[in-house]
Amino acid sequence: MRPDISLTPDSEVKSFRGNGTTSAAGTHVISRDEILVPEPVNNNNLDIPDSKLPRSRSLETLKREFELSDCLDFVKVGVEAIIEDQVTSRFEAEELKSWNLLTRTNIFYEFISWRITFIWMTGFFIRYFFLFPLRFLICFFGVIWLTLCTAVVGYVPEGPFKRWLNRHVSIMCFQVLSSALSSVIRYHNRENLPRDGICVANHTSPIDVLVLACDNCYALIGQRHGGFLGILQRALARASPHIWFERSEVKDREAVTKRLRQHVSTPNNPPILIFPEGTCINNTSVMQFKKGSFEVGSVIYPVAIKYDPRFGDAFWNSSKYSMTQYLYLMMTSWAIVADVWYLPPMFQGKGENAVEFANRVKRAISKQGGLVDLMWDGQLKRMKPKPEWKERQQEEFSKKLKVQ
């Protein structure tokens, strides 16, 4: 047995175990407090009734000098971050409880014994020499079919028939493309299927669009590209009112918000699909939502997506794999198995700002999908923490040293 090492001095025991503790995010080394910095002890704040304070004491006498114990909460949080970083671990492949005979998450496991090696080699032959060529042909046909069908729909005059045709053609084409990944998708609560407004979902992979578009027609928003991807974007734009931005417009929040308002205010437009996290997370958590899509004032349809990693890891580690490598890994996996939950539509409450609304939607998605709700910004993957985060911790620390 491994000894438990207490991490907190209070009555609630937090333990460090070598084999980890299991939660929705997989295997964790430590168990954390829900709050980043605990509130000051009761005898140091002003919430104590006046009747319990000695009459001889004044505000000046409540102030005290710095004590070493004042910084222990921050030291504890720092040690937790060193043992297990909550942010960077979300941008790596999810650690599995059992090996799925794929080398992506557990490399060199196939050489543990000759029996496992034989089973792995049999699976390797099936995946690479039978499934992959078949999936590649289906993908090639699906892309050509999508381009042709959307181009034809683009020549149909605007009206109810074109919207009906576009919906059915879009779902049919994306279902063909999903078969190139041997996708098995289970949709729950379809009575909440988005019909208009804005649909927001947690983001694990570029194929999130494929998973959702197999069941409903969406308008997409993104940066305009050239080359082959640009041909697909122009074909899709002819069939449905997608929103493509030039590179110079992507960082213009006012322009993005204006285009979103125009889209949701136009009758009969399909719901627009947005991933507010802005980056791919490894199927274990939901990170901070950007508030832009929640400032439009439209109805929000939350959608929770959860992949089953036993058959294939759908997470795209963009810092490690290119798009071509990622699609190759998807096509050589066993299958892509996912559950999709449509949540009831949500509206911004009276007196609720965009940030609070975004956090409320994020909590609903994380709860339904069995994901960990994190306050961190996913863009920490590419940039340094904002100065406001440091200032917030400094402010909390100052509250422990003096009476406000």
pLDDT mean over 168-180 = 92
Least confident stretch, 226-230, 305-309, 327-331: 226-230
Buried b (16+ CB within 10 A) or exposed e, 352-376: eebeebbbbbbebbbebbebbbbee
**Beta pairing partners, 48:** none
pLDDT of 44 strictly over 50: no
Q: From CA 198, how far away is CA 264, in angstroms rounded?
A: 7
User: pLDDT tens digit string along 106-127?
Assistant: 556 666 778 878 888 898 899 9
Please report the pLDDT score of residue 110 as a whole number: 62
Mean pLDDT estimate for the chain: 77
Residue 6: phi, psi to the nearest 5?
Answer: -70, 135
Spatial contact of 222 and 180, defined as CB atoms under 8 Å apart: no
Annotated domain spans of the chain:
5-91, 109-375
For the chain, report the end-to-end CA distance as a whole number of angstroms: 48
Please report the pLDDT score of residue 228 as a whole number: 62
pLDDT of 274 strictly over 50: yes
Spatial contact of 375 and 369, defined as CB atoms under 8 Å apart: no
Mention every residue, 6+ apart, whose C-beta is less than 8 A from residue 77.
36, 37
Q: From CA 2, how far away is CA 54, in angstroms rounded?
A: 49
User: pLDDT tens digit string along 120-151?
Assistant: 889 889 999 999 999 999 999 998 999 889 88
84, 23, 31, 94: which is closest to 370 by C-alpha?
Answer: 23
Least confident stretch, 167-176, 324-333, 381-390: 381-390
